[in-house]
Chain A
Amino acid sequence: MMNAVKLVETKDLGIHFGGLKAVQGVNFSLNQGELRCLIGPNGAGKTTFFRLLTGVHKPSVGSVTINGTTIKGLQTHQIANLGVGIKTQIPSLFDNLTVRENLWLSARKRNARAEADRIADGVLETIRLAHAAKTEVAKLAHPKLILLDEPAAGMTGHERERTAELIRDINRTCAMIVVEHDMEFIKMIAKTVTVFNRGEVLMEDAVDKVLSDQRVKDVYLGKQIGGVTL
């Protein structure tokens, strides 16, 4: 990419829990405005990698740099203030608040009350899906980077297409990393795909090359019954 500016860079990043090396030796970089998909087997370290980027986990080795700032020693809220938003695998909404209240709280983080009112109402106008709402919550604080953990989980075709549209729309203004097991969804949104396996990066390439790679089929995609990825 021409004039690409790195937004995220990890160097030799690793974390172990007791004897388990959940992430090891990960050198990953993401440019500003890029949309990257992460795939890999359950337990390959994708969610742990997200937690290292957001400061929920502290690395055992290596470093994470976001927008030029090394996040070592920073608290999660300080990393969020660097412009990192996340929608987790199990959506962390305030269950006792209304959809609008959830949206407003996120908007209020970086805006005055009146502006937060305006933003929350505007988003309410445009959203139709429960999961889309959750995605929009991540968007409201105007982050530079959004991490989405399985945004299409449990969605049918139309909902999936709508979520893909929403992600492309959000990606116009900020970089995104999307973890997903739904290959149809990956094909809808992905350009470059990074494959994790056993805590390491197995490969990183264009989506069509990754999905036809024998190593990826062996560890992740399977035999593809009837030519279809389940």
Chain B
Amino acid sequence: MILSVADLASGYGRIPILNGISFGVAEGECVGIWGHNGMGKTTLLTTLLGYQPATRGSITFGGDDVTRLATHSRARRGMGLVPQGRQIFPALTVAENLRMGSVVSGGQREGVIEEILELFPRLKPLLSRTGGLLSGGEQQLLALARCLCGKPKIMMLDEPTEGIQPSINEEIVETLIELRKRTRLTLIVVEQRREFIAALADRVLLMQKGEISAEVRPDELLKMDELH
């Protein structure tokens, strides 16, 4: 397992959000996480990355306990996030956004950026454009590419389809499938759209009230009734 999570708990002030989460992700695997709003999916990702401190339990990544490490240390070890709402740097150009991403992997290595851009042909003619002037779909592609420029071993995506047009969602799926063919990149995808998860994930964890309530196959997810 590249990532092992044991009895993980976290919350905001006195409000508990995660109540003892345990799961593992194998290298090269794509795990989907599905659940309603407010069930703790984003908090799970922010706790794995260290934005949110764990109040109990442990996170082991690449064989090392990273539970108490700072976020930047986890990023340097290969944990990457494509955050909800993209959160690109709007005042920087596309090229500068990508360079910021590459800092995590040692920085300023043009070769890394060129290699990643091969997967994102839509971004190539936009390199000198300011990030804030890109469309929402282009920003999402930039957020993905920026994360990949950090050469992560695991990439976590938080609601990548939110507010994005269908054809770009397809482009994201095709890019990630191609990426998985070329590399051993491990993925965790938090997403509300079942069809998107099913197109990518090897298995899906269902989250309810801060806990993982079940694990299903992607085809089972598509046939499932609602979670209550």
Contact = CB atoms under 8 A, between A and B. Distances in A.
Interface in B140-174: 159, 161-171, 173
Interface stretch (A1-9, A55-63, A74-82, A216-224): A216-224
Interface string A118-149: 00000000000011000000000000000000
A42 B166 contact: no
Nearest to A150: B163
A157 B171 CA distance: 23
Residue of B38, B193, B195, B227 contacting most chain A CB atoms (<10 Å): B193
B36 A230 contact: no
Residue of A42, A158, A222, A225 contacting most chain B CB atoms (<10 Å): A42
Interface in A202-222: 219-222
B198 to A, nearest CB: 9
A229 to B, nearest CB: 5
A114 interface: no
Contact of B168 (A42, A154, A224, A228): A42
Residue of B35, B37, B134, B173 contacting most chain A CB atoms (<10 Å): B37
B170 A225 contact: yes
B61 interface: no
B56 to A, nearest CB: 27
A36 interface: no
A130 B37 contact: yes
Interface in B190-224: 192-196, 199
Contacts of B135: 41-44
A230 B163 contact: no
Given A43-B136, A43-B137, A156-B36, A181 B167 contact: no
A133 B162 CA distance: 19
Given A42-B136, A223-B170, A230-B161, A130 B38 contact: yes
B109 to A, nearest CB: 30
B118 interface: no
B29 interface: no
Contacts of B199: 225-226, 230
Contact of B226 (A44, A158, A183, A222): A158
18 contacts: A41-B165, A42-B168, A43-B136, A155-B37, A155-B192, A156-B34, A156-B192, A159-B36, A220-B166, A222-B166, A222-B167, A222-B169, A226-B199, A229-B195, A230-B161, A230-B166, A230-B196, A230-B199
A181 B162 CA distance: 9
A89 interface: yes
Contacts of A230: 161, 166, 169-170, 173, 193, 195-196, 199
Contacts of B133: 20
Given A153-B162, A159-B37, A43 B138 contact: yes
A226 B195 CA distance: 10
Given A130-B37, A225-B199, A230-B195, A183 B166 contact: yes
A43 B126 CA distance: 14
A153 B163 contact: yes
Contacts of A223: 167, 170
Contacts of B226: 156-158
B37 A42 contact: no
B163 A181 contact: yes
A42 B86 CA distance: 14
A229 B196 CA distance: 9
Contact of B165 (A156, A158, A220, A228): A220
Contact of A181 (B38, B165, B170, B173): B165
Residue of B34, B36, B38, B171 contacting most chain A CB atoms (<10 Å): B36
A224 B171 CA distance: 11
